[in-house]
Amino acid sequence: MPLFLREKKNLLILIALIFFHLILISLQVPLGNEQSYFEKGFFSVFSPVQHGIFSFFGSIGKLWKNYFYFRNVQTQNQRMREEMFLLRQENTLLRNVLKKLKSEKEVEENISKIYQNILPAQVIGLDASNLYKSATINKGSLDGIKKNMVVLDKDGNLVGRIVGPVTLKEARVQLITDSESGVGVFSQINKVMGVLNGDANGLCSFNYVLVTELGISDGEEVVTSGYDGIYPQGIKIGKIISMEDTTSLHKAIKVKPYFDFRYLDQLAVITIDLTNIF
């Protein structure tokens, strides 16, 4: 490159540097009470970033605060649901106690016994071979669970009884819809007696009612009789949905249980022998 071009290039670079330096100085010159152009430029660039960071951490703090608030509300709601569950069970069982017209002292004693011996449990599984056979709950021997304890649904209707195996934190409940289940029952109106067996399809059969028996009808409620030595008298089971005469000695009667498999999540295990109370 010729010398005069090289010198001209250097001169241009020098002029550009001087001009850029003057711009920087002018940007930093205070404008009275106003901010410099440099400060304004810096603020305009980083202010949104600062605002975004502040908003982000503010949202995180608010979210964290709301998390603990809703956790507290959730805990309170769960506690209230459990209390309502226990009170509903107690109310159902006490109605059966009062039907016996016991003395005031006996009623007070039974109230205390029943309330202290209602154990809420969650269903954690159903029998894989047949959903209507049994259920597994999350309570076991460490919670005081034993065989033949009565199990009710959230409304106090009969679901079944505890059968083996019972482990430390789990137990199996034989459902009344199991074909091997047997419950002593009678009809609510005329106290027609029989034995309730499951049909393994979600319904139950009211067996050993003679074809000559006229004191039983469709739509009638079926309750426990207490004569089987396991289930106390008066617990609601279900309603008669069909009844036919057969060529044998006994009627063919179908009963639909009150408990609903769709909502078979929370159960109540009665941890005392209710046959001594009812």
Render pLDDT for 236-251 as a digit per residue (tens, 0 to 9): 999 999 999 888 899 9
Q: What contacts 30, CB < 8 A, 6 or more positions away?
A: 36
d(CA 78, CA 85) in angstroms, rounded, equals 10
With a cut of 70, say whether residue 51 has pLDDT above it: no
Q: What whole-number distance in Å separates Cα of residue 278 and Cα of residue 102?
A: 10
Cβ atoms within 10 Å, residue 269: 24
Give the model confidence (pLDDT) of 103-136 as tens digits: 555 545 544 555 567 888 899 988 888 889 999 9
136 and 40 housed in the same domain: no
More confident residue, 23 or 238: 238
CA dist., res. 149 & res. 162, Å (int): 5
Q: Are residues 123 and 45 part of one domain? A: no
Domain count, the chain: 2
Query: Which tokens in the block code for residue 152?
Result: 């009710």
pTM: 0.63
Show the beta-strand stretches assigned E in the chain.
118-126, 134-137, 150-152, 158-166, 171-175, 183-187, 193-198, 204-207, 221-224, 236-244, 252-257, 266-270
Q: How far is Cα 50 from Cα 58, in angstroms, rounded to an integer?
A: 12
Q: Determine, yes or no, domain membership for 227.
A: yes
The winner for highest mean pLDDT among 7-11, 35-39, 157-161 is 157-161
Please check whether residues 171 and 81 belong to one and the same domain: no
- Verify that 138 and 269 share a domain, yes or no: yes
Give residue 195's pLDDT.
Answer: 96
Q: Which residue has the tokens 């010198």?
A: 7
128 and 266 assigned to the same domain: yes
- Give the pLDDT band of residue 73 (cuts 50, 70, 90): low
Q: Above 50 in pLDDT, residue 75?
A: yes
Same domain, 197 and 257: yes
Confidence category of residue 10, pLDDT binned at 50, 70, 90: low
| Confidence band, pLDDT 50/70/90 cuts, at residue 261 | confident
Query: For residue 147, what pLDDT band results from cuts at 50, 70 and 90?
Result: very high
Amino acid (1-letter code) at residue 139: K
pLDDT at residue 116 in the model:
65
What is the extent of the structural domain holding 65?
1-28+35-86
Query: Are residues 132 and 65 part of one domain?
Result: no
Neighbouring C-alpha atoms within 13 Å toward the C-beta of 31: 10
Let me know if residue 48 belongs to a domain.
Answer: yes
Does 107 map to a domain? no
Give the Cα separation of 154 and 83 in Å (integer). Answer: 12
Whether residue 160 sits in one domain with residue 79: no
Q: Are residues 55 and 177 in the same domain?
A: no
Higher-confidence residue of 141 and 45: namely: 141
Do residues 165 and 242 share a domain? yes
What is the share, in percent, of the chain residues with pLDDT greater than 90?
Answer: 37
Same domain for 142 and 253, yes or no, is yes
Mean pLDDT of the chain: 77
pLDDT given for residue 162 in this prediction: 94
Residue with tokens 């029952």, as numbered in its chain? 185
Q: What pLDDT was estimated at residue 60?
A: 67
Residue 260 lies in a domain: yes
CATH code, 267: 2.40.10.340
Whether residue 108 is contained in a domain is answered as no
Q: How confident is the model at residue 3 (pLDDT cuts 50, 70, 90)?
A: very low
Residue 81 scores a pLDDT above 80? no
Same domain, 175 and 252: yes
Top-confidence range, 83-87, 132-136, 258-262: 132-136
- Higher-confidence position of 124 and 50: 124
Residue 154 falls within a domain, yes or no?
A: yes
Question: Is residue 130 in some structural domain?
Answer: yes
| pLDDT at residue 39 is higher than 70 | no
Residue 185 lies in a domain: yes
Query: Does residue 218 carry a pLDDT above 70?
Result: yes
Closest-CA residue to 219 (of 232, 234, 202, 206): 206
